[in-house]
Chain A
Amino acid sequence: MAKYKLTINGKKVSIDADPDMPLLWAIRDLAGLKGTKYGCGMAQCGACTVHMDGKPIRSCSTPVSIVKKAKITTIEGLSADNTHPVQQAWIEAQVPQCGYCQSGQIMSAAALLAGNGNPTDAEIETAMMGNLCRCGTYPRIRQAIKLAQQSMAAAATNGKSKSSKP
């Protein structure tokens, strides 16, 4: 056991854990944030996807000891109230069925769109291929990513025109 200080959703969290404990279980059981899910434990399904310094990672296969000072964002930290454009698009397109994989899907899509406001279909495929959905919501995920992309682009344009005013 060792002591770690994690930064999760902007808050410092002190935990006692074995160095090999995957970040997933630290987030769920020690930080008490249950939105991130366990699906496979071997980075095959993406249900555990969170952001580490903005990049999507599979927390089930990331030992807590390597996180160090990196900033971790989970679905709970994406927005306080479902207002992130990706969450809004997911609601608009009525994506989730069972919903279990969707925290991971949303985190993958949000990381993609944060780094690339205008991804090609191939870039979307690469970003999303690590997230399995057994209910088969892929067609709606595709639709929701396009919606989120549009609303983020519109917000960026508005932001620019506002900030360009004297």
Chain B
Amino acid sequence: MTNYKVNRREFLITSGKGIGALAIGAAIPGVVSANGLMKVDANNMLAYDVTPFVNIDATGAITIFNTRPDMGQGTWQSIPTIVAEELDVDPSTIKIKMSEGEKKFGGQGSGGSSSVRESYEPLRKAGAAANQMLRQAAAAKWKCDLSDTKTDNGKVIQISSNRTFTYGELAIDASKLEIPKEPKLKERSQFKYIGKETKRQDIPLKTAGKAGYGLDVEIPGMVYAVPVHSPYIHARVDTLDDTEARKVSGIIDIIRTERDNHPIKAETVTVLANNQWSAIKASRLLNIKWIKKYDDESMSTQAYFDKCKAEIEKAGNKYPESKGDFDTTYKATSNKVSAVYQTPFASHAALEPNNATAWAKGNGVELWAPIQGTDWVKQDLAQYLNTNIDNIVIHPTFMGGAFGRKAFYDYVREAVMISKKINKPVKLVWTRETDMTQGPFRPGMINAVWGSIDANGNVNSFHHKIIGESIQGQIFHADLTSKADDWALETIGFEDSPYDIPNRYHSHALVKTNIPILWWRSVYSSTNAFGQESFIDELAHAAGKDPLDLRYEMLKDQPRFTAVLKKLEEKSDYRSLRGQSGKNIGIAIARSFGSIAAQAVILSKNGNGVKIEKVVSVIDCGIPITPNNVRAQTEGNVVMGLTAAIKSDITFNQGQCDQSNYHNYQIMRYPESPEIKVYIMENDEKPGGVGEPGLPPVAPALANAIHNLTSKRIRTLPLDLNNI
């Protein structure tokens, strides 16, 4: 793992800043070549590790490890499928186990839609290495050449004789061999499982109510803990009156605690009880006077957006990469467009609230929790407790949704600290109200965009300015006073956005707030794409062109983008819908996390508003490992993207969050969810991300459709579908 650029997705907790938030997707270091991988499993003398990812016991049962925690995005299926393909065993017949942060597995984090794209090559090699070792073991027994062997679903076959061994019969011998560094990989045409319609092994557990989430963990002797955090988030306890709370049956104690995860270091109060309900009930009866750390102004969304807007015309920090001369061209061109787009703060609002079960023992801790990064938490807790990493034992559970939130480990540290304090196992559960009011949140952002169209109707200049608080700045202490935030350029920078515009640059203006922020599904791509893709449509209308045609012109040297748009045009019946009255369509396209996704939103008129009739999605994620799950993720991205565009926003007034539960932070419900059709592009490109790329184009496609249907341009989200 040498010489890789540290960016947002690769930042690791080892930076020593005491931040329990993590890095999205570190590379897998030396997965195949790591030392010490061939040892017999000490816990089961009959089971053998054939490479760390594959374990075969004497009965022939094959276990493949999933190294990327599953928050619903389907790694429980996709990661083992990659190994199983090259190992040559039907993934529906294997056992899947979650890795627990062991060094030998390398990176074990889910985030930045990185799981498959970072694992694809190393895990194919891991599977192929195991396959080769099993064939070598068989060849030795048969005293034949390796080339006289082949495999088929868990068996090695001697080609010349048709004799077979099961993998189980070969596991002991195979595990003694050296792991080949460059095993031969299959051709894509040989794939039996990758790219096929396979079923997820976790789904029957979930339909039976048997999947184990963090909330379901029970440890003998554990104490239920429900913390009360200040509505001001950053605060100290002035006075605490717990008289009424202590009258609740089952209360063990009420103690002073803290939430300690930069940028938040706040005093809290925690109710300890012998059952969950008593702890929740008593937590509502506490009478606490808080001392706020920050003034209300710095914790107000209105004041924040006002400050953002004041930055629009000021010189921001330019990103290093640019093309041509924007200023001169823009000034000299008469057909100009400029627009300001506002996207709100958003809550992850995963259905499973933050929770963790911790048992502090000696210098270390054992933890059961829904977490996005197993190895990240291990490192974080070792640092937090100032102990050796081997003293940290982690059991990641299924996550009841996360969307980025469960890669910020304030709740984990809180549970650990309480367990240490009372010297007992502790199950900490945040109430929904705590989960929703405390954040961190997707930052509200302003995107200001300027562009011009020359006499031939071509876009000749473009400047996109990102304005708002910075994850890199607020959480990771980056100094952005004279430097643009290079994590914030997702989707719209030259790397992701290939629009051919001769004079173009991007800039950034930092606006600080004490409202805590964090990555939220697709991060800045979700807010940047709204600016860029709405604006491309505004340019098209100013140029008198159809927005799809303008995109074709500007992307003519980009075959993957063009192919996605062509597919979208065809599948959405774009041309016919553009000509209709009472019905219309809008589109948007964005690249993020290594994949290209386009969305088409089809609307009809509905009184003073509009109705979403249908959404058509096209995604180019390279080779899809599990196509059914690619469709599922893209459907989910449509629903989450629409929710962020048309449902509730997070607002702060007088230092407090206004929303507290699903009644006033509404997310899309069943009757509002439109028909969604997803199409996956066929190509041989290497796998891109899937969990997030569908989301960024959703909101701009909706706003563009609204404009095409009603001539009204929506530039501020959330919008009200019933009142356009």
Contacts and interface: CB of A to CB of B under 8 A. Distances in A.
A94 B71 contact: no
B210 A132 contact: no
Interface string B649-690: 000000000000111000111110101100000000000000
Given A28-B276, A41-B431, A134-B640, A87 B207 contact: yes
A29 B670 contact: no
Given A94-B203, A97-B74, A75 B208 contact: yes
A82 B208 contact: yes
Given A21-B277, A34-B216, A137 B632 contact: yes
Given A38-B215, A41-B432, A96-B207, A134 B351 contact: yes
Contacts of A76: 208-209
Interface string B183-226: 00000000000000001101111111111110110100000000
Interface stretch (B7-15, B172-180, B395-403): B395-403
A128 B673 CA distance: 12
A30 B215 CA distance: 15
Contacts of B661: 40-42, 44
B673 A136 contact: yes
Contacts, number: 183
Contacts of B74: 97
A35 B213 contact: no
A38 B206 CA distance: 15
A5 to B, nearest CB: 18
A134 to B, nearest CB: 5
B87 to A, nearest CB: 24
Interface in B414-472: 429, 431-432
A contact patch SS: loop
A147 to B, nearest CB: 13
Given A42-B661, A132-B667, A82 B351 contact: no
B277 A29 contact: yes
A149 interface: no
B149 interface: no
A115 B25 CA distance: 48
Given A99-B202, A99-B206, A136 B663 contact: no
B73 interface: yes
Contacts of A36: 209
A45 B530 CA distance: 29
B662 A132 contact: yes
B83 to A, nearest CB: 21
Given A125-B671, A128-B670, A98 B72 contact: yes
B401 A82 contact: no
Contact of A18 (B72, B207, B278): B278
Contacts of A101: 351, 400
Contact of B200 (A40, A94, A140): A94
A44 B665 CA distance: 10
Contacts of A98: 70-72, 350-352, 398-402
Interface centre among A128, A134, A140 (most CB of B within 10 A): A134
B203 A95 contact: yes
A98 B75 CA distance: 11
Contacts of B215: 34, 37-38
A20 interface: yes
A82 B277 contact: no
B322 interface: no
A106 interface: yes
Contact of B669 (A22, A100, A132): A132
Given A96-B203, A132-B667, A20 B636 contact: no
Contacts of B216: 34
A99 B203 contact: yes
B692 to A, nearest CB: 13
Interface in B381-417: 398-403
Contacts of B636: 97, 135-137
Q: Select the residue from B250, B351, B628 with max chain A CB neighbours within 10 A.
A: B351
B436 to A, nearest CB: 9
Interface in B271-299: 275-278, 280-281
6 pairs of A and B residues whose beta carbons are closest in the complex: A35-B209, A136-B639, A100-B400, A98-B72, A99-B206, A75-B209
25 contacts: A1-B249, A25-B276, A25-B277, A28-B276, A34-B218, A37-B215, A38-B353, A40-B661, A44-B662, A44-B663, A47-B351, A81-B208, A82-B207, A96-B72, A97-B74, A98-B398, A98-B401, A99-B205, A102-B206, A102-B207, A133-B351, A134-B351, A135-B72, A135-B636, A139-B673
Given A96-B200, A100-B72, 16 more contacts: A29-B275, A34-B216, A40-B661, A75-B208, A82-B207, A97-B632, A98-B350, A98-B402, A99-B72, A100-B400, A125-B670, A132-B351, A136-B673, A137-B636, A138-B668, A139-B673
